[in-house]
Structure formats: structure tokens, C-alpha cells
Amino acid sequence: MTMPASFLNHTPHLPGLVDRAATMLASAKNAAEVLEAREYAGLVYDAAKRAARLSLAKAAHDDLVAAAHRAQAHALEIEAAAKRRLADEYDAAQARGEVASATSSRGNQWTVAAGNEAPVTAADLGLRRDQIHEARQFRDAEAADPGIVRRTLDDRLERGEEPTRAALRKMVVDAAMRGLRPQRSASRRNPLYVPPTPEQAAWQHVTGTFRAFAEWATDENLALARQGMFAAQAEPFHDLNVQAIARGSAAFTKITEWFDAR
């Protein structure tokens, strides 16, 4: 997929391009559509990167550069999510025997359907072995350290740094490697220590998130946030922020309903 002229000449419409990439991934029903969403998100990232560099070259207002960087971050987040889905799709197909293992005499093939005499290889689908490996790293990193992609991107944005593929990949590889290491044994200073189960760890994550937000959400901080909300309404990514808050609010409501259902 080459970069169309619209990506180069209509960079003010980056938020719309980001929305389209997110919609493509959310509606993807098979590996081919996931790949298409990944490619589109990559084009949006490239367009946003170009817009940021042009703005810097023209000594444009900092807000324009920051907006382009936010578009890069959103595109990278969508691209990362597409890679994780791709890893799941590929491994599931391999488990079903539709993709041969690396040790198979058939090579790395992805069949169109059982019994098809002309199997499609991963290369035919535009996939290289290193891309499959990277997709698995993104999936494994998110499993080992949930939210690693978003936190990495947000951290660079907060520091005024460009969110790049290289920086994100480094953090993802580090997180994936941590996930592959065996769990440390119980502390010698506390031989009774038992690591939490995945269910306990998930609940601790929920309660920690609630507790941290409740401690922050004083009347003063909420009043400041409300003023910031009104000030942000003119920003290009306001709608995406609203959607994120709505999803978080829905999750909080669902968790509260668990207590009511006991």
C-alpha cells in the first residue's frame, strides 16, 4: 500500500485518518482485513511524522507540532493493536494446521481453505518472518505488562518527544523479554510469600486504579479538569479523548454492578 496524495496534502485532517484506521481495525473480521488496518495505520503514522517535521522546519506553533505527534501516537497504538491481533490470527491458524510450522517440509504456508491445492504462503500475504516475530512480541509484551504501549507513547508526549516506532519497539521488546523470564522464587526474607494468581493480579490492578484516581480526584483537581475539558474542545483529538473516557466510565460502571449483583 503506497501513500496516496491525500495523506501528503491534507495533513490537517489527521484526526479523521486516525479515526478511519481505528474503525478499520475494529471492524476487521479476518487476517487480511487486520493487515489492511495495520498498513493504513502505518500510512497515517508516516503522514503525521511528515507533518510534524514540516511544522518544525517552518518554525510553526508548538500546538501544530504537538497535534502531529499525538496523531503519530494514536496511529502507533492502532498499528500495535493490529500487530497483536495478527499474532493471534497467525498462531490460531498454525494451531489449526493451516499454517505449517517452521520445521515442516511445507514451509511457512497459510492455506486459503482445507484441501486447497494452492496454499498461500505468508509472503503471499505480505508477511515476513521478522514481522510475525515482531507481532508476537507486541502481543506478549502487552500480556506481560498491560498498557505498556499506551504508557510508552504518553510518556514521550508528556516529555515533548516524538513518539517513534523505534522507541516503542524498544520498550515492547524489553517488556516481552521480561514476560519470558521465569518468575522469581519467593523472597528469602519472607518464605511465606505466594505470588498472586492472574485473577488476583487483575483485581489488584482494578483496585489500584480506582484508589489512585480517588486520591487524585479532589474538588480542586476536578474543577481544574473541568476547565481543561472546555479548553480542549477545540483541539483535534477531543473526540478521541471523550471516547476513551466513555469506555473507562463504562468499565467502572460494570465493576460497580458486580457489587450490586452479589
Residues 2-35: pLDDT tens digits? Answer: 455 444 444 557 888 999 999 999 999 888 899 9
pTM score over 0.85: no
Whether residues 21 and 124 fall in one domain: yes
Buried b (16+ CB within 10 A) or exposed e, 71-85: bbbbbbbbbbbbbbb
Whether residues 126 and 218 fall in one domain: no
Three-state DSSP class for residue 99: strand
38 part of a folded domain: yes
Cell 492472574 belongs to residue = 198
99 part of a folded domain: yes
Whether residues 130 and 10 fall in one domain: yes
Task: Of 25, 75, 27, 34, give the one whose Cα is nearest residue 52.
Answer: 75
6 part of a folded domain: yes
Q: State which amino acid sits at residue 27.
A: S
Work out the average pLDDT over 135-139.
91
Please report which confidence band the pLDDT of residue 39 belongs to, taking 50, 70 and 90 as the band edges: very high
Contacts of 212 (CB under 8 A, 6+ apart): none
Whether residues 131 and 204 fall in one domain: no
Work out the average pLDDT over 137-157.
90
Q: Quote the number of domains for the chain.
A: 2
Whether residues 31 and 129 fall in one domain: yes
57 part of a folded domain: yes
pLDDT of residue 129: 83
Whether residues 227 and 132 fall in one domain: no
**Lowest-pLDDT choice from 71-75, 153-157, 159-163, 198-202:** 198-202
E strands, the chain, in order: 109-110, 120-121
Whether residues 136 and 20 fall in one domain: yes
- Report DSSP state, residue 10: -
192 part of a folded domain: no
15 part of a folded domain: yes
Domain that holds residue 260: 197-262
Q: Say whether pLDDT at 138 is over 80.
A: yes
Q: Say whether pLDDT at 208 is over 80.
A: no
CA distance 181 to 189: 22
Please report which confidence band the pLDDT of residue 74 belongs to, taking 50, 70 and 90 as the band edges: very high
Q: Is 152 in contact with 191 (CB distance < 8 Å)?
A: no
pLDDT of residue 179: 66
Whether residues 249 and 135 fall in one domain: no
